[in-house]
Structure 1
Amino acid sequence: MSATRLEKLRKISPLVIGDIMLDRFIYGKVERISPEAPVPIFKYDHEKEMLGGAGNVVANITSLGCKCDFLGVIGNDAEGRKISSLLKKIGVHSHLLRLNDYPTIVKARLIAGNNHIVRVDHEKNLPIIANVLDRFESILSKAIRSADVVLLSDYNKGILTKETTQMIISICRRLNKPVIADPKGLDYSKYRGATLIKPNLKEFGEATGRKYSPKSATFHEEVTEGALRLMEEHDIDNLIVTLSEYGMLHISRSEKKVNHIFTEAREVYDVSGAGDTTLATLGMAIGSGMPIKDAMVLANRASGIVVGKLGTATVSFEELRAACSGNGRTGNWDSLLKDDELKTVIGRARAQNRTVKVVYGDFRKFGAAEIEKLNDIKSGCDSLFTVISGNGAECELARAVLCNHIAVDGVAVCADAEVWLKEHLAELKLQQGDIVALDSVI
């Protein structure tokens, strides 16, 4: 992906609405068992506090270099003041409703070495009352009007009730603003009218009343059926199901077909906050006008970076740019690969047991239909490379288009792509079925 396309993400104005909380991480070590009871003795060393829940979505957006507004509820207490301070520190313009007799949500985690021992939650359900709703709606209208995209981070703690969520979506539709929800609970009627909802597989199964297995031969068909039923019932345009190590699926109500983006193999240290990173990146990408399929690939890459970190983490713009420019990846989206370079990146992918497809041919008449075909091919493999036959200005234009195509991991040009590939099949450790003629996919 080009640096220009990534830079567009930093120029939008997202609004995040949801359940904010304070994440407290207490670090120490365990060296012995208590003589009082068969439990470990945790020896305190230090602690740190950061934004949690919807606050982690906000933290990811600002870490990616984007200005962000936030609307949420905190208690009139020390923890609430800490959240307000942390939001200011990262440059967030916040609309915080401070309530008396309501404790700010705090989640404290004890970490010994790299092991998460226990979590202690301090919370109670948020009492939404009539006089707060009037104030809430007034703030909402102003905040949504100046936003490019609205993200709902629902942790089922009380701010996103059916009444408030429908109020938000109604204003968004009236102002023609996309609204993306990370849902909680079984009743998706409160998300009626949303542009996109993003449940994980467990949440999706609970909402549709069945279990799904990514290993099933009929998995795509089953998920598509359940998603379309859910979207039709609740007037939702798009649904993305996150699948942990299996990537994520997108189903559009208008197209009625599934698009599966597979995750990249990474060492996983902690999945805390990966869903928040996905929501933040999806929202920024869609808010910037990026197609949902491309936004998914970008979000998948961002969440892949985060799970390699310990604790509720964020991804920086520099980390995402490096991941999209080929640093640490199988290919390079921004430059032309020479023959030897193509051999190297394909060889590296095969050494990592990644599935590889190579599409070759005359790309001079490459258009929107072919772009969709490449998306479809990428949904069935880990790495996709293209080899352009020919030379001249038209080939150079095709190369520029392909280098900026988010599904393509590497581009090469040679006089006769088919001949070159067949000569190097064994060397590249590819099978005949791994190379696809462009003519056959049009």
Structure 2
Amino acid sequence: MSTSLPQRFSFDDARVLVIGDVMLDKFRYGTVTRISPEAPVPVMHVASERTMLGGAGNVLANLVALQCECGLIAMIGADDAGRHCRQMIEALDVDPELLVIAPARVTTLKTRLVSGSQQLLRCDEEDATPIDAAIEEQLIARFEDALGDYTAVAISDYAKGVLSDRVLRHVIDRCRETNVPVIVDPKRRDLAVYAGATAIKPNRSELAAFTGTPCSDGPSRRAAADRAMEATGAAILLTLSEDGMALFRPGSAMQHFHATATEVYDVSGAGDTALAIFSAGIAAGMAMEESAMLANAGAGAVVRKLGTATLSRIELAEAVAAVDGRQTGAICSRAEAARQVAHWKQEGLRVGFTNGCFDIVHAGHIEILRQARARCDRLVVGLNSDASVSRLKGPERPIQPESSRAQVLAAIDAVDLVVVFDEDTPLDLITALLPTELIKGADYTEDKVVGAREVKAAGGRVHLIDLVPGLSTTRAVERIRRRAEPADQS
């Protein structure tokens, strides 16, 4: 069966309630150059450390990155890790009041030692024993208070105790009663405990463990999925690592979505990203196969990042475009660009900015963009609107409308984002984005570069790059007009 990715998607109407096991993921990065004299183990010199929300918390972080309205019901301990989780949830601008604090339990903390792209060791601090009845009551009460505000529920089960039989059954039954889709990322061996869910997202080993079928090829996956669907009544979105994903629904043919990742740096949290995107799509009213295709494209993109990473809406759009063979750059609003630039900067990426009219793109423009991209990890291009170009260049300009100029720029490999601005200068746009690298042609001096002071005050840098001599849109337009003029008949 042939299907294509949705060319346009929006999560504006998606409101997703996440319930499950939240944890703290700590990554310590360093280099290994020798073996310990005390034991035959490597010695790692720690250079940096990052701490991120994991488990259900990472599902939440991904939903926030996708600009979805979302909430989180989870349990934390009255410890440093729990307090850190709460602070990070607040930093996402999500109300932490749905969290349940269990003073007698520890918050799950996973510490990973990473050298290069190789994970050397993981240390877990956790309490996976069943929760008591009092905690169950609090979780159920939080769920009842919140359910009416959401259009889908995502269950993130890491088998750390939050999703007891009682809590799980209450959540699924109440979702069915209120016609709210519920999507499960399972951890339990017995998938039948999730009976009544809208969709379940097991991996190959989880489905094989439940059915006793190896899931090594199409027929065995179909047989295993049929058994799981019979036991649960749910659709099965089977994740297959390097083989992508397969969607099974009762009475329908299997739909296989091939993997999109060409380079895999870290699979930590990729399943959380897939759950977030799949749930967001269903919450927004998309068809299940469209949601699955988006989830597959997103998972293929997020494994290219180190650590428990998230994927923004713009990055998802780029992943979708890459799968479908369309342009790789994104054309977005100022507000969307500001969110994306902040996201990139949080990941430690150098974000470059340059601007211009780009009316008739020529080799000089391409060279400027190529050199600009070489000075950063992500390049944003500010594009003068039609009204702005007319004020600057005269009433006969631009030759190409802003929509066409933006599409041309977005199709250039060096460009990651295109933002149209209506002012005469890009100062307001630069101030809103605060790129780390501001790039202009060497026909300027630094004191004449718009936004240089603001970028440098924020710790950024200004780059002046050489122009290709003799190339100018204005000259090209004049040359075209001269050639179009009728010859003198006298």
TM-score scaled by structure 1? 0.70
State the partner residue of 2:218: 220
Unpaired runs of 5+ residues, structure 1, are 214-218, 335-442
State the partner residue of 1:83: 85
Is the CA contact (8 Å cut-off) linking 1:324 and 1:332 kept in structure 2?
no
Q: Percent identity?
A: 40
Shift in Å, 1:209: 0.9
Counterpart amino acid of 1:65?
Answer: Q
Shift in Å, 1:273: 1.0
Shift in Å, 1:46: 2.2
1:169 and 2:172 matched: yes
Shift in Å, 1:125: 1.7
Counterpart amino acid of 1:176?
Answer: N
Is the CA contact (8 Å cut-off) linking 1:67 and 1:91 kept in structure 2?
no
Q: Identify which of 241, 245, 252 aligns with 2:242.
A: 245
Counterpart amino acid of 1:181?
Answer: V
Give the 3-state SS of the residue equivalent to 2:37 in structure 1.
coil
Structure 1 or 2, whichever has the larger Rg, is 2
Q: Identify which of 249, 267, 271 aligns with 1:275.
A: 271
Q: Map 1:150-229 to 2 at 5 A.
A: 150-213=153-216, 219-229=217-227
Is the CA contact (8 Å cut-off) linking 1:18 and 1:54 kept in structure 2?
yes
State the partner residue of 1:231: 229
Relative contact order: is structure 1 or structure 2 higher (C-alpha 8 Å, sep ≥ 6)? Answer: 1
CA shift in 2, pair 1:166/1:52, >3 Å: same
In structure 1, distance between residues paired with 2:328 and 2:301: 18
In structure 1, distance between residues paired with 2:22 and 2:276: 14
State the partner residue of 1:404: none
State the partner residue of 1:130: 133
What are the Cα deviations for residues 334-392 of structure 1, in whole angstroms up to 9, with x where unaligned?
Answer: 9xxxxxxxxxxxxxxxxxxxxxxxxxxxxxxxxxxxxxxxxxxxxxxxxxxxxxxxxxx
Shift in Å, 1:126: 4.1
In structure 2, distance between residues paired with 1:322 and 1:225: 35
Is the CA contact (8 Å cut-off) linking 2:71 and 2:94 kept in structure 1?
yes
Q: Identify which of 16, 19, 22 aligns with 1:17.
A: 19
State the partner residue of 2:431: none
What are the Cα deviations for residues 146-191 of structure 1, in whole angstroms up to 9, with x where unaligned?
Answer: 1110000011111112221111001111111000000112112220
Is the CA contact (8 Å cut-off) linking 1:10 and 1:64 kept in structure 2?
no
Give the 3-state SS of the residue equivalent to 2:101 in structure 1.
strand
What are the Cα deviations for residues 23-63 of structure 1, in whole angstroms up to 9, with x where unaligned?
Answer: 01112221211111111112122211110111111111111
CA shift in 2, pair 1:230/1:323, >3 Å: closer
Give the 3-state SS of the residue equivalent to 2:75 in structure 1.
strand
In structure 2, distance between residues paired with 1:333 and 1:28: 33
In structure 2, distance between residues paired with 1:65 and 1:283: 13
Q: How many residues align?
A: 325
Counterpart amino acid of 2:11?
Answer: L
In structure 2, distance between residues paired with 1:296 and 1:275: 12
Counterpart amino acid of 1:232?
Answer: E
In structure 2, distance between residues paired with 1:279 and 1:201: 15
Is the CA contact (8 Å cut-off) linking 1:163 and 1:190 kept in structure 2?
no
In structure 2, distance between residues paired with 1:229 and 1:107: 34
In structure 2, distance between residues paired with 1:136 and 1:106: 21
Shift in Å, 1:333: 11
1:68 and 2:64 matched: no
CA RMSD of aligned residues (A): 2.0
In structure 2, distance between residues paired with 1:10 and 1:118: 40
CA shift in 2, pair 1:146/1:44, >3 Å: same
What are the Cα deviations for residues 119-157 of structure 1, in whole angstroms up to 9, with x where unaligned?
Answer: 100011244212222222221112111111000001111
In structure 2, distance between residues paired with 1:237 and 1:132: 28
In structure 1, distance between residues paired with 2:90 and 2:292: 30
1:145 and 2:145 matched: no
In structure 2, distance between residues paired with 1:329 and 1:294: 13
What are the Cα deviations for residues 193-237 of structure 1, in whole angstroms up to 9, with x where unaligned?
Answer: 000000011111011112121xxxxx3332222222222223x23
What are the Cα deviations for residues 297-322 of structure 1, in whole angstroms up to 9, with x where unaligned?
Answer: 11111111101111111111111122
1:28 and 2:30 matched: yes
In structure 2, distance between residues paired with 1:269 and 1:136: 36
Shift in Å, 1:332: 5.2
In structure 1, distance between residues paired with 2:238 and 2:281: 17
Query: Deviating runs (4+, > 4 A) in structure 1?
Result: none
State the partner residue of 1:290: 286
Is the CA contact (8 Å cut-off) linking 2:154 and 2:279 kept in structure 1?
yes
CA shift in 2, pair 1:36/1:315, >3 Å: same
Is the CA contact (8 Å cut-off) linking 2:192 and 2:228 kept in structure 1?
no
Shift in Å, 1:264: 2.1
What are the Cα deviations for residues 91-141 of structure 1, in whole angstroms up to 9, with x where unaligned?
Answer: 122311111121110000111232211010001124421222222222111
In structure 1, distance between residues paired with 2:215 and 2:184: 21
Unpaired runs of 5+ residues, structure 2, are 330-490
In structure 2, distance between residues paired with 1:248 and 1:286: 17
State the partner residue of 2:474: none
Counterpart amino acid of 2:325?
Answer: T
State the partner residue of 1:306: 302
In structure 2, distance between residues paired with 1:155 and 1:53: 7
Counterpart amino acid of 2:222?
Answer: T
State the partner residue of 2:107: 104
